[in-house]
Structure 1
Amino acid sequence: MTRPAIVWLRRDLRLADQAAFVAAASAGPVIPVYVLDDDTPRHRKMGGASRWWLHHSLAALDADLRKLGSRLVLRRGAAADVLAELARETGAASVHCVRHYEPWWRNAEKALKEALPEGCALERHHGNYLMPPGSVTTGSGQPYKIYTPFWRALAQHMPPPEPLPAPKSLDAPKAWPKSDELADWKLLPTKPDWATGFAEEWTPGESGAAERVDAFVDKARHYEDRRNLPSIEGTSRLSPHLHFGEISPATVWHATMEAGGSVETFLKELVWRDYGQNVIAQYPDYGRANAREPFDAFPWRDADDPEVRREVEAWQQGRTGYPLVDAGMRQLWATGWMHNRVRMVAASFLIKHLLVDWRVGETWFWDTLVDADYGSNATNWQWTAGTGVDSNMFVRIMAPLTQSEKFDAAGYIRQWVPELADLSDSAIHDPEAAGKFIKGYPRKIIAHKQARERALAAYAAMKS
């Protein structure tokens, strides 16, 4: 019998437009494998919200595979070691995977190539991004650091190739290797179960991703007008599906590109994902190291100070006294996701109002977001902090109260901060200024003017 091919799955949990499956299926029997690897990423292992999503996504993929006469094999440990042993155990001729660009996965791919038994090849494929990171370069052949010229250059190669169809069947190996039970991985929270609201919001898996795209296509033309309004459903909410690879960006591009209106603004958001990977390919430590070295001397407040810890906890719990910030942080806790405009406001508040190092917020989002993506998360936090290779200036300090009114967030606040629900549209953005002191809702941690002056003084101290 033809030797089997292993498909190593990570954040590419789909059958359609999945180059590793296509290549493996053309070679003979296929063994799809997911390795729960907490060893290789070390401190970057998946956070709690991502683990909830992973459990349901793996269950959905296994169900889809069984319809094709296949199944998903689950193993746990350091991926390179586990896969090399599995290749020896099954006599596999090859291991196919979609390339990943986080530094730990690049290391794992290198280690696996060296660990595989003789006669078993590692075959890596493109497919998680519109173009392979590092392939879009300047005239001198250098990778881009700034988003806008990156977008212009990448757009010259769009649309991407037509997505590949899902295989109609997959040949099974002569004998299936042993597999862990998904439930034994204990990916779901239990004591307490803080994810009770997740299932009402999300349907992980390839079919859930397809439904989300279908629901968004008719809205894509209005993206520019509605994406910044948290009180309406103006964004695609595709980010966790894209992060886990339940749908390819090429599929999303082709589904939406003819929508007209302001769909180009949405397509630019797809390119921002590519840009984030382009950045971490150049700066592997982007999630923990300032890209702008002067910020290494920035006088952040001491995160171990009890007062600072209390303020960070208030931010995490949505109890800052700033309704828009609080609504966003509560939405995050309840659903594992936050509206993009509110993410910027909440991040800016932690960094510039509370003067807390951006890495504290990046770590919190890593644990609580279902779409926690190393490239996008790090790029967004460094953009807000002014520390990134392409970033907002630190001295541009978002005013949460103004942002709330400007983007008509009253309905959003009523949904996520119900103690303020009875306030009028004019009062709900800043209850204190309107003379409304609601029992159970906190006063502002710090006044906006005071916070702004403190942040600018800290920036001046760094510059001097």
Structure 2
Amino acid sequence: MSTALLLFRRDLRLADNPALQAALDSADAVLPVYIHDPEVDWKPGAASNWWLHHSLLALDATLRERGSALIVRAGNTHSELRALIDATSADAVHWNRCYEPAAIARDKTLKAALREAGARVESHNSALMMEPWMLATGNGDPYRVFSPFARRFNAHWQPSRMTETPTTIPWPSEAGHQRQGESAIAALELLPRIGWDAGFYECWRPGVDGAHARLDSFMAGTAGDYKRLRELPGIDGTSALSPHLHFGELSPRQCWAAAETAKAQGASEGIDHFQRELIWREFAYHLIYHFPHTTDTPLNPRFADFPWRVPADYAEDLKAWQAGNTGVPIVDAGMRQLWHTGWMHNRVRMIVGSFLTKNLLIPWQEGARWFWDTLVDADLASNTLGWQWAAGSGADAAPYFRIFNPVLQAQKFDTEGTYVRRWVPELSRLSDTALHAPWEAKPEVLAQAGVQIGRDYPEAIVDLKASRARALEAYERIKA
């Protein structure tokens, strides 16, 4: 009996899983394995680990329903795989590719070592519709601008057949009958020891079932008006599929197919815009693959000399931003939503990113690291793209001189204050006109709402007009 090892990473599903299908097609039995071996750089943050714990539990349960189970190990991936090969006499190893710089380097070394030891090793594409090397400009260069990338993607993308969830997954007889399940996953200690994650359970259902429930709900609900509703943080108008996509509980091909079905049923512009967001995700991976240094340094080399404030100068402001205590309501609402739910509305992500990098002149890397630790959808490619965009230093970046005014943004996208009142309840009794800039409200208006600035809600840590001028002055220093 031939046995193949199936190494799960960020592909925690059975349907449309090329590595699983290849293992089933080429071997009599398949041993599903997860090895917890985080990269040295950009180790998954606390929120990601919370999601991973629950997604692994869901995957193990799904495997058990099909006569299999998830073998869980922690340690060096090569050593653990070699031990499993020896124990099961497996002659093949399959996995789906990752595209982050450290993951690529790890996989090249791992593949070479296993092949040298006599194993057949195959990697597959599960995470993307088109892999980063498949699209290039007319000159053969990688893209740096989204619009031409999207046009090329649409011209070349051809959906292929997706495999369904297998009904059975043959278990290798050499693996014995020990199927650790929950205890082995718990031993990874992915969950927090202090219960700061209570709000996560109210918002999320990690695993394939939760992913498809959210996809179905979105397609049946707000998807048709997605382009408009996704801009309004006070309503549930986005897909919120990003963590499911990051952990591979859904594939982008499955999302694209669901969108095509919705369009066939009459939805159009909103669905087109949702598909455009899927292409943005592809673009993020295109960039991180071709420009791996951008996880830590700017794509635009001019910004290497940008006059950011130094840590000793901005430490207290950074803490206020992280805690949602800046005194700017829409910024604080976003940061508090992030802490409570592990997620933040995309429009608000842009607002808080602009505020940190431009009004506070704090390096974008500080924001990227905080998001990395606190987002359940922390994805290195998308996180890097988003923060370089906010700072003005990346591909398709907002020009540095385009500085979001958080008050005007709030008035436009949270007109009735639904979002701010939810996450900054101490201001909930303020009128719509006073809510977004309480420092401008008359004393009697504040008093009537029971708000005393500096006691019930912090004073703004920065003057928006003056800090905007400071940012523009800093930009001028690298403009030439």
Residue 207 in structure 1 maps to residue 209 in structure 2: yes
Residue 12 of structure 1: aligned partner: 11
Residue 48 of structure 2: aligned partner: 50
TM superposition shift of 1:143: 2.3
For structure 1, the residue ranges without an aligned partner over 5 or more in a row are none
For structure 2, the residue ranges without an aligned partner over 5 or more in a row are none
Task: Determine the C-alpha separation between the residues in 1 that align with 2:272 and 2:304.
Answer: 37
TM superposition shift of 1:355: 0.2
Task: Determine the C-alpha separation between the residues in 2 that align with 1:385 and 1:326.
Answer: 19
SS of residue matched to 1:392: coil
SS of residue matched to 1:181: helix
Residue 75 of structure 1: aligned partner: 73
Which residue, out of 309, 316, 323, partners 1:310? 316
Residue 34 of structure 1: aligned partner: 34
Which residue, out of 271, 288, 293, partners 1:285? 293
TM superposition shift of 1:463: 3.1
TM superposition shift of 1:126: 1.1
Alignment of 1:116-131 (within 5 A): 116=114, 118-131=117-130
Alignment of 1:351-362 (within 5 A): 351-362=357-368
Task: Determine the C-alpha separation between the residues in 2 that align with 1:224 and 1:367.
Answer: 29
Residue 216 of structure 1: aligned partner: 218
Deviates more, 1:258-267 or 1:128-137: 258-267
Task: Determine the C-alpha separation between the residues in 2 that align with 1:279 and 1:396.
Answer: 23
Q: Say whether the 8 Å CA contact 1:84–1:112 is kept in structure 2.
A: no
Instruction: Give the TM-score normalised by structure 1.
Output: 0.96
Give 1 or 2: higher helix fraction: 2
Q: Say whether the 8 Å CA contact 2:414–2:420 is kept in structure 1.
A: no
Q: Say whether the 8 Å CA contact 1:349–1:398 is kept in structure 2.
A: yes
Alignment of 1:234-253 (within 5 A): 234-253=237-256
Alignment of 1:297-446 (within 5 A): 297-305=305-313, 308-408=314-414, 410-435=417-442, 436=446, 437-438=451-452, 439-446=455-462
Task: Determine the C-alpha separation between the residues in 1 that align with 2:136 and 2:41.
Answer: 31
Alignment of 1:115-154 (within 5 A): 115-116=113-114, 118-154=117-153
Task: Determine the C-alpha separation between the residues in 2 that align with 1:162 and 1:230.
Answer: 36
Residue 468 of structure 2: aligned partner: 452
TM superposition shift of 1:331: 0.3
Task: Determine the C-alpha separation between the residues in 2 that align with 1:161 and 1:453.
Answer: 52
Q: Say whether the 8 Å CA contact 1:147–1:272 is kept in structure 2.
A: yes
Structure 2 counterpart of 1:37, which letter? D
Share of identical aligned residues, percent?
Answer: 45
Task: Determine the C-alpha separation between the residues in 2 that align with 1:141 and 1:151.
Answer: 16
Deviates more, 1:136-145 or 1:250-259: 136-145
Q: Which runs of 4+ in 1 moved over 3 A?
A: 177-180
Q: Say whether the 8 Å CA contact 1:80–1:109 is kept in structure 2.
A: no
SS of residue matched to 2:123: strand
Task: Determine the C-alpha separation between the residues in 2 that align with 1:79 and 1:348.
Answer: 39
Residue-by-residue CA offset, 1:238-259 (whole Å, 9 max, x unaligned):
0000000000011011112313
TM superposition shift of 1:86: 2.2
Q: Say whether the 8 Å CA contact 1:84–1:115 is kept in structure 2.
A: no
Which residue, out of 81, 86, 90, partners 1:88? 86
Instruction: Give the TM-score normalised by structure 2.
Output: 0.93
TM superposition shift of 1:159: 5.3
Task: Determine the C-alpha separation between the residues in 2 that align with 1:94 and 1:23.
Answer: 10
Task: Determine the C-alpha separation between the residues in 1 that align with 2:83 and 2:291.
Answer: 32
Q: Say whether the 8 Å CA contact 2:368–2:383 is kept in structure 1.
A: yes
Equivalent pairs counted in the alignment come to: 458
SS of residue matched to 1:304: helix
Residue 255 of structure 1: aligned partner: 258
Q: Say whether the 8 Å CA contact 2:144–2:395 is kept in structure 1.
A: yes
Task: Determine the C-alpha separation between the residues in 1 that align with 2:211 and 2:10.
Answer: 14
Task: Determine the C-alpha separation between the residues in 2 that align with 1:115 and 1:286.
Answer: 29
Question: What is the Cα-based RMSD across aligned positions, in Å?
Answer: 1.4
Deviates more, 1:251-260 or 1:175-184: 175-184
TM superposition shift of 1:265: 1.0
